């Protein structure tokens, strides 16, 4: 079980396959190709979508694998995650190169994404071994309690069942086939059926092949992992409504996310959908910091905005500052940097078209002024950055200005006072992130702002930019609606596992029949809440 297998070192081929419970399978529905968005040309080979039956088969094989998977030793599950990480690392150069062709994202960024993806799998392996995820609790019997004996009650968490994961377009590795949703569901003991994103099918095939090899090497049932392509909404919805599926992870648009939420709620047995949807990630520039470093902040902001053609869930779409010279300098520097920024290919033609529409809406709004536009790339699959300004008064009166434009567009909101900046914060919808730039002298205003932002965002950051999500146990990549469909959860960081676990209590169950985490003896030294106190005894 703990033998380290040697991952395949030969360059993984892209053949047009999906993977269903260990088997490379060609789809039985429509044909499609990946498109190189930099050139707008189709990439070989052809792929085929899965029809309803193939997708259902993946779900059924996941269900068949669930009991043996959850019954297997936790160490075997940790090994699966590590084997998957090793296999993906071995295929990493090929995956990054294919992803570069399929997404137009810079190769260096994609190489980093491979490391992030495999680091995340290894972090979950370590979390499994640490063991507190079991949530083990024991309350011993009180035989002499009056008027009646108190029974022995114990609790642990178990996996919910097979999980459908809908991969994102914008992180072809870290939020895709073996991304955070897949890693955390497998860590929890849930088989996974990935609905891959059709914008990077070759990358998806390479990664799915790597995970499939890892499952085989782990000795776990092949059904713990499948990856399918599905055209349009129909087969995806069928997956969400398949009786074998117990939960859903999704990263993408608000429209599709809400459709999955609605489908899951309408099932005979509703299931949770963890959808990460939309966020404008407001940045608040406090006066003291603006006075110190307005120009420097403006340049840095433009860098964060244009990174990866602005195609981050945590892209800073709104900047709020208090009027004054500092904000003028910020605005001028951001304007210059955005004007000088290079156009870049976007992930898909549809995303580029939607971005162009969003920028046009922003420009046409009577209350905004576009102050910077990067050169027109003259190609339909490319995008160029845009920057507009408005007043806080206008922003507060125009809810449509709070909507996300996915891409490198941002809006500077000029507040007349600190109080108005707070009003803008209070008017925000739920967000993945909220950023504050503050000097020491801004502490009183920052203290007022912080509790407002806690209610709005999953992550609050100071004196930085939101476009990086560290994979650490403390991370929250989530936030109140509409940032996600369930603000109690995170899709990055080790708490992501909790989405796929539920507690079960055992009352007066004989020790020999109890699952190991809640037996009287604790040879693994798990952290457990015993009679109200945490202990590893």
Which residues participate in catalysis according to the annotation?
Answer: 276, 313
Q: How far is the CB of 532 from a second copy (least distance, A)?
A: 6
Nearer to a second copy, 366 or 510 (CB): 510
Q: What is the DSSP letter of 134?
A: G
Nearer to a second copy, 317 or 479 (CB): 479
C-alpha span between 136 and 158 (Å, rounded): 11
Environment class of 361 (CB within 10 Å of its CB; exposed 0-12, middle 13-18, buried 19+): middle
Least Cα distance to 209 among 219, 198, 194 occurs for 194
Cβ contacts of residue 278 below 8 Å, gap of 6+? 253, 254, 403, 404, 406, 482, 483
Bridge partners, 193 (sequence order)? 164, 226
Q: How far is the CB of 198 from a second copy (least distance, A)?
A: 28
Nearer to a second copy, 208 or 475 (CB): 475
Least Cα distance to 507 among 147, 148, 151, 156 occurs for 151
Bridge partners, 369 (sequence order)? 389
C-alpha span between 2 and 57 (Å, rounded): 30
Q: How far is the CB of 240 from a second copy (least distance, A)?
A: 15
Q: What is the DSSP letter of 252?
A: S
Q: How far is the CB of 84 from a second copy (least distance, A)?
A: 20
Q: How far is the CB of 156 from a second copy (least distance, A)?
A: 9
From the CA atom positions of the chain, what is the Rg in Å? 25
C-alpha span between 296 and 250 (Å, rounded): 36
Nearer to a second copy, 83 or 261 (CB): 261
Q: How far is the CB of 160 from a second copy (least distance, A)?
A: 8
Nearer to a second copy, 13 or 472 (CB): 472
Nearer to a second copy, 157 or 329 (CB): 157
User: Could you tell me where the beta strands, DSSP code E, fall in 293-400?
Assistant: 318-322, 344-345, 369-373, 382-383, 386-391
> What is the token pair recorded at 1?
């079980």
> What is the token pair recorded at 401?
């200005």
């Amino acid at each position: 079980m703990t033998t380290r297998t040697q991952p395949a070192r030969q360059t993984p081929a892209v053949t047009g396959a999906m993977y269903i419970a260990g088997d490379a399978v060609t789809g039985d529905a429509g044909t499609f190709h990946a498109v190189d968005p930099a050139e707008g040309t189709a990439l070989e080979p052809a792929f085929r979508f899965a029809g309803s039956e193939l997708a259902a088969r993946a779900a059924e094989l996941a269900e068949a694998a669930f009991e043996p998977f959850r019954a297997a030793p936790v160490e075997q599950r940790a090994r699966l995650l590590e084997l998957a990480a090793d296999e993906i690392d071995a295929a990493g150069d090929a995956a990054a190169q294919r992803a570069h062709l399929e997404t137009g994202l810079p190769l260096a960024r994609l190489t980093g994404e491979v490391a992030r993806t495999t680091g995340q799998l290894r972090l979950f392996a370590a979390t499994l071994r640490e063991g507190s995820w079991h949530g083990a609790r024991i309350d011993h019997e009180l035989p002499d309690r009056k008027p009646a004996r108190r029974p022995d009650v114990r609790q642990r968490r178990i996996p919910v069942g097979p999980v459908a994961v809908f991969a994102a377009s914008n992180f072809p590795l870290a939020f895709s086939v073996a991304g955070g949703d897949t890693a955390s569901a497998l860590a929890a003991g849930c088989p996974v059926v990935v609905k891959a994103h059709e914008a990077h099918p070759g990358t998806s095939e390479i990664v799915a092949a790597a995970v499939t090899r890892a499952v085989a090497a782990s000795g776990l049932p092949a059904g713990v992992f499948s990856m399918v392509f599905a055209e349009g909404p129909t087969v995806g919805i069928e997956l969400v409504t398949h009786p074998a599926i117990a939960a859903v992870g999704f990263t993408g648009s608000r429209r599709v996310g809400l459709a999955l939420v609605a489908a899951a709620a309408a099932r005979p047995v509703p299931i949770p959908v963890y959808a990460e949807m939309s966020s404008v990630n407001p940045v608040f520039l406090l006066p003291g910091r603006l006075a110190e470093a307005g120009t420097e902040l403006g340049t840095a902001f433009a860098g964060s905005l244009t990174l990866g053609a602005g195609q981050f869930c945590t892209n800073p779409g709104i900047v709020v500052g208090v009027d004054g010279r500092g904000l003028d300098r910020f605005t001028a520097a951001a304007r210059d940097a955005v004007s000088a920024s290079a156009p870049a290919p976007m992930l898909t033609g549809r995303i580029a078209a939607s971005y162009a529409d969003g920028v046009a809406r922003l420009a046409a709004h009577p209350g905004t002024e576009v102050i910077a536009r990067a050169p027109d790339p003259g190609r339909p699959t490319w995008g160029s950055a845009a920057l507009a300004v408005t007043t806080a008064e206008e922003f507060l009166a125009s809810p449509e200005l709070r909507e996300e434009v996915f891409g490198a567009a941002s809006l500077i909101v000029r507040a007349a006072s600190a109080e108005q900046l707070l009003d803008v914060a209070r008017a925000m919808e739920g967000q993945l992130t909220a950023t504050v730039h503050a000097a020491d002298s801004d502490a009183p205003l920052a203290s007022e702002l912080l509790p407002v932002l806690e209610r709005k965002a999953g992550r609050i950051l100071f004196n930085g930019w939101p476009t990086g999500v560290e994979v650490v146990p403390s991370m929250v990549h989530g936030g109140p609606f509409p940032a996600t469909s369930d603000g109690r959860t995170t899709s990055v960081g080790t708490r992501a596992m909790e989405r796929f676990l539920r507690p079960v209590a055992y009352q007066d169950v004989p020790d020999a029949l109890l699952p190991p985490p809640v037996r009287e003896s604790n040879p693994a030294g798990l952290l457990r809440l015993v009679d109200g106190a945490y202990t590893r005894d």
